[in-house]
Structure 1
Amino acid sequence: MARVELYVSVDVEADGPIPGPYSMLSFGMAVCGTFDGAEFTGHDPSERTFYAELKPISDGFDPRALDVSGLDRERLAREGRDPAEAMRDASAWVKSVAGRALPVLVAYPLAYDWMWLYWYWMRFTSHSPFGHSRHLDIKSLYAAKAGAMVAQSTKRQMPAALLAARPHTHNALDDALEQAELFQNLFRWDG
């Protein structure tokens, strides 16, 4: 018998396009539901969350990326969490909320958020709580259910009923919560 999957919505804010030369500055995670292979059960995403702001790991940054997130690199250099500690704590949180369920990371768009988180987990802990492939792209899920081209699967082109009531603020936890609602609506949607 297959294990229940626990879906965790994630969002990342970074100061550039790729990890290594640039830094992940914050990330947020929110439990958004479970699926037993037959029934999806949504969870209030605000009930179980994780948020961390990190010390930068490099000197390079793109000022435009900082403008998007509104995060202050100088403050984070002083007050941000050590990346290794934050990634260990994030792994422990995922394990704790998953219990016996199999955790699956969901994001919009997955490629960006997954790239950062996986790189940081492997760099600082040598292990991802989602393995190397337990993730689901919300944008691709919409494209498949809607029979739409990926390029036409933006939030602006989705039916309003699918969109979250929460705003997209570019705070990583706020956006993880927003995406959790979108994922719940989309998972239940027949297309």
Structure 2
Amino acid sequence: MSPRRVRPSLYVSVDIEADGPIPGPYSMISLGAAVAGRQDADGFTAADPEEHTFYRELRPISEEFDAQALAVSGLDRDRLCREGTDPATAMAGFTAWVGEVSAGSQPVVCGYPVAFDWIFLYWYLVRFTGGSPFGHSGCMDMKTLYATKAGTPLRAVAKGTMPRHLLSRRRHTHHALDDAVEQAELFANLMRWEGPAS
């Protein structure tokens, strides 16, 4: 019996900003994504993270918000209520973009950490488009990737504990696209890193 052929993975760095801790009662207010690289049987190939990107600011879906969470992004919620992209339109556009950039590959979300961004992204995709181009579990956590390669407990991982050569030289601005691009560079560095001995 011949082995099952596995499609390459296309890694998409995703960062979201939200006005609260969970989707539904609270809203995703911006979404940024950047292609980080591709992995096939021959290994990982990094992408230029500025070449294929996606960014939208979204109209809130409820009246509830947490002022501290909102302050992180610096986005004006009143402006988003008037001018933000309809969530269904934004998610349909994102799904189409993922389909274009991942043609022939399986798309995988990567994030630092992925849990917060994934819960909002997946909820919005299912709620507003009926499904996810990443399936229900197509995500990879960069903190876990680092912890595994470094032999470090996960809860001890922070960017400040990582070797400087792994980090992007870009600032973490809490603008979703800026941070998606920054994290795409971190992901590529982590994928190529062989661990502390290297």
- Provide TM-score, normalisation by structure 2: 0.95
Equivalent of 2:145 in 117, 125, 141: 141
**Aligned match of 2:166:** 162
Provide the rounded CA distance (Å) in 2 between the counterparts of 1:2 and 1:165.
Answer: 34
Equivalent of 2:21 in 17, 21, 26: 17
Q: Which amino acid in the other structure matches residue 164 of structure 2?
A: A
How do 1:1-191 residues align onto structure 2 when only pairs under 5 Å count?
Answer: 1-191=5-195
Provide the rounded CA distance (Å) in 2 between the counterparts of 1:37 and 1:137.
Answer: 21
**CA-CA distance at 1:123 after TM superposition:** 0.6
Provide the rounded CA distance (Å) in 2 between the counterparts of 1:143 and 1:18.
Answer: 26
**CA-CA distance at 1:37 after TM superposition:** 3.0
Provide the rounded CA distance (Å) in 1 between the counterparts of 2:138 and 2:192.
Answer: 20
List runs of 5+ in structure 1 lacking aligned partners. Answer: none
The C-alpha deviation readout for 1:115-156, integer Å capped at 9, x for no partner, is 000000011111101011111000000000000001111111
Q: Which amino acid in the other structure matches residue 2 of structure 1?
A: V
% identical equivalent positions: 60
**CA-CA distance at 1:67 after TM superposition:** 1.1
List runs of 5+ in structure 2 lacking aligned partners. Answer: none
Provide the rounded CA distance (Å) in 1 between the counterparts of 2:185 and 2:106.
Answer: 20
Provide the rounded CA distance (Å) in 2 between the counterparts of 1:28 and 1:115.
Answer: 15
Provide the rounded CA distance (Å) in 2 between the counterparts of 1:111 and 1:50.
Answer: 20
Provide the rounded CA distance (Å) in 2 between the counterparts of 1:17 and 1:64.
Answer: 10
- Structure 1 runs of 4+ with >4 Å offset: none
- Provide TM-score, normalisation by structure 1: 0.99
